[in-house]
Chain A
Amino acid sequence: MNESVLFFFEVLVGGLLSGTMYSLVALGFVLIYKASSTFNFAQGAMVFFAVLSFCGFMEYGMPFGVAFFAVVLLMILVGLLTERLVLRPLMNQSEDTVLMATIGLGFVLEGLAQAKWGVEVRKLSLGIGDFPIPWIADNLKLFISALDLTAGLVAFVMIALLTLLFKYTKIGLGLRAVADDPGAASSIGIPLKHIMLLVWSAAGVVALVAGMMWGARAGVQFALIELALKALPVLIIGGFSSIPGAIVGGLLVGAVEKVLEVYIGPYFKGGIEAWAPYMLSILFLLYRPEGLFGEKIIRRV
């Protein structure tokens, strides 16, 4: 194959795979958006909180699996407390009020995490290197990072599990009902608090996984919170309420930013990776505000 074509594919595949990391973060936002129609500003802090706690538990000498399980329980506890202390008192308030509360919750979580575990950047090793897989490099002449590939697979598995949960379980049906009309859902006896607890816990677990992937690449540090906000263009492009949207949006953002960086970046003296996704999302806001997969608002006239 031609050198330049091969190079393009390498950039594209690298972009797509790093895009799955965005998808993972975006997934957490989608879960909460579905249940409460609120953009959860605390999601970035949850990512940070979860993975920092994971590192902390490992430092206490817990084995990998035990630490993972402990953080899953911790994130369920966070979900429980959030439902009880933040969401329940704000029930029946406007979505904006809840939005503001999530900003506050974000500060609390990042403060707690740093108070307990300190502020220094930690290295997280998952035993998967961030270097090209030799077999693929030799046979296909493509340089693809093992970490990227793992993140892609993990994202795929999480998404498949969540989709099955929503589509085929009773609580999933309850969640979709609440997403459509919380008032009507409570009128037929669907308990909102259980649904809230479920989505916040699930978002917590997704935050942990996303944090581990990002942490392994960039180090476990405060900057993870800002990285998580890259999910915003992902969600605008994919659609706030759609799980497939989070995936495709993530892939698209990942691929577009890498391809643009490599081919157009030099004309702008580089660094366009940082703002290209936002430009793309502005185009979407103008021409397709519900995103690629967002649920169109169905209204009878």
Chain B
Amino acid sequence: MGTSSENILEIKNIEVAYNKVILALHDVSLTVPKGKIVALLGANGAGKSTTLKSISTMLASERGEVTKGTINYDGMEIKKQNPSEMVGLGMVQVLEGRRCFGHLTVEENIISGAYSRKLSRGDLNAEVEKIYGYFKRLKERRKSQAGFTSGGEQQMIAVARAMMAKPKMLLLDEPSMGLAPQLVAEIFHIVKELNEKEGVSILLAEQNTNVALRNADYGYIIETGNVMLEGSAKDLLNNEKVKELYLGISKGKRLNFKDAIRDSQRKKDDAEKKPH
């Protein structure tokens, strides 16, 4: 953790409530250094999405509110801004569940990402071509209606669209959701490439702890609205608690599906052997 000029995002002790009564975050603090990838990990309902939305100010549209603490982004405090102002400041969120414009073509989806920028036709085309350089698969499907593309392609569209706004910081909400492992790997590879070549800082919320930590620099684990654990991605991957609770590896023997099935089969057999 360095001084604030090295960090693009600093969140200090925020509390978030929905409808003024439902407390979603109790006390979350986290920092994203410039040019790094930070993973926000936790189970369903832990508060990952809420954290991201309070940064991008999308929270207001779900009647949520930051009730305590501060969020500092790129040297300014985030308070009353709205999402389109945040996009103007270089902060773009890729929402959970991809949310492509289904009736628009793949290319129209990508172009729509540059809506907030004033670009000439030529510049716009150059930018689109550059984005296709990262997302080669999308170039082949540029004329298809986005609603009919596969889940992995839709996730790529969502990230490509966000990149068209030329963000300094990208918030990714569960890019792996519902995708085959191979596609997850492909998407994380692209994200890492964007981070390295475009210098965009990334905060990503994930349930897939393993993939997230292997691609991130730093990680936070949150549970029921509190940060439980933080550390460098490497440390977290080797942390015994993380292994047991989030990576499904318990001390000594590996607890995998085969073991689990054998376990449950044994219990069932025992139950049947019991005399009625």
Tell me the A residues contacting B by CB distance below 8 Å: 91-92, 170, 173-174, 176-177, 179-181, 183-191, 295, 298, 300
- Asked if A173 and B108 make an inter-chain contact with CB atoms under 8 angstroms apart, the answer reads yes
- Asked if B101 and A181 make an inter-chain contact with CB atoms under 8 angstroms apart, the answer reads yes
Residues of A close to B116: CB separation below 8 A: 188-190
Residues of B close to A189: CB separation below 8 A: 83-84, 86-88, 92, 115-116, 165
Whole-angstrom distance between the alpha carbons of A176 and B111 in the complex?
Answer: 12
Given A186-B84, A189-B83, A190-B115, 19 other A-B contacts at CB below 8 A?
A92-B61, A173-B112, A176-B108, A177-B104, A177-B115, A180-B101, A180-B102, A180-B103, A180-B104, A185-B101, A187-B58, A187-B94, A188-B92, A188-B113, A189-B92, A189-B116, A191-B84, A298-B103, A298-B148
Residues of B close to A176: CB separation below 8 A: 101, 103-104, 108
B56 interface contact, C-beta 8 A: yes
Whole-angstrom distance between the alpha carbons of A190 and B88 in the complex?
Answer: 10
- Asked if A184 and B100 make an inter-chain contact with CB atoms under 8 angstroms apart, the answer reads yes
Measured CB to CB, the nearest residue on chain A to B164 is A188
Whole-angstrom distance between the alpha carbons of A189 and B102 in the complex?
Answer: 18
Whole-angstrom distance between the alpha carbons of A105 and B93 in the complex?
Answer: 35
Could you tell me the distance in whole angstroms from the C-beta of A42 to the nearest C-beta in chain B?
24
Tell me the B residues contacting A by CB distance below 8 Å: 56, 58, 60-63, 82-84, 86-88, 92-95, 99-104, 108, 111-113, 115-116, 145, 147-148, 151, 154, 158, 161-162, 164-165
Residues of B close to A187: CB separation below 8 A: 56, 58, 83, 87, 92-95, 99, 162
Whole-angstrom distance between the alpha carbons of A181 and B158 in the complex?
Answer: 12
Residues of A close to B61: CB separation below 8 A: 91-92, 183, 186
Could you tell me the distance in whole angstroms from the C-beta of A216 to the nearest C-beta in chain B?
37
A-B contact count (CB 8 A): 89
Whole-angstrom distance between the alpha carbons of A184 and B100 in the complex?
Answer: 7
Interface pairs (21), CB distance under 8 Å: A92-B62, A92-B63, A173-B111, A174-B115, A176-B104, A176-B108, A181-B100, A181-B102, A183-B61, A185-B101, A187-B83, A188-B113, A188-B115, A188-B165, A189-B83, A189-B84, A189-B87, A189-B165, A190-B115, A298-B103, A298-B147
- Asked if A188 and B162 make an inter-chain contact with CB atoms under 8 angstroms apart, the answer reads yes
Measured CB to CB, the nearest residue on chain B to A298 is B147
- Asked if B112 and A174 make an inter-chain contact with CB atoms under 8 angstroms apart, the answer reads yes
Residues of A close to B158: CB separation below 8 A: 184
Determine which of A92, A170, A186, A295 lies in contact with B103 in the assembled complex, contact meaning CB atoms within 8 Å.
Answer: A295
Measured CB to CB, the nearest residue on chain B to A190 is B115
Measured CB to CB, the nearest residue on chain A to B149 is A300
Residues of A close to B148: CB separation below 8 A: 298
- Asked if B112 and A188 make an inter-chain contact with CB atoms under 8 angstroms apart, the answer reads yes
Determine which of A174, A180, A186 lies in contact with B83 in the assembled complex, contact meaning CB atoms within 8 Å.
Answer: A186
Whole-angstrom distance between the alpha carbons of A183 and B101 in the complex?
Answer: 10
Q: Which of A187, A191, A300 has the most CB of B within 10 A?
A: A187
Residues of A close to B145: CB separation below 8 A: 298
Could you tell me the distance in whole angstroms from the C-beta of A179 to the nearest C-beta in chain B?
8
Top 6 A-B pairs, shortest CB-CB distance: A189-B87, A189-B116, A298-B147, A184-B99, A180-B101, A189-B84
- Asked if B104 and A184 make an inter-chain contact with CB atoms under 8 angstroms apart, the answer reads no
Taking A176-B103, A180-B104, A189-B84 as contacts, is the C-beta distance between A300 and B151 under 8 angstroms? yes
- Asked if B87 and A184 make an inter-chain contact with CB atoms under 8 angstroms apart, the answer reads no
- Asked if B63 and A188 make an inter-chain contact with CB atoms under 8 angstroms apart, the answer reads no
Residues of B close to A170: CB separation below 8 A: 115
Whole-angstrom distance between the alpha carbons of A173 and B164 in the complex?
Answer: 15
Residues of B close to A181: CB separation below 8 A: 99-102
Whole-angstrom distance between the alpha carbons of A80 and B56 in the complex?
Answer: 27
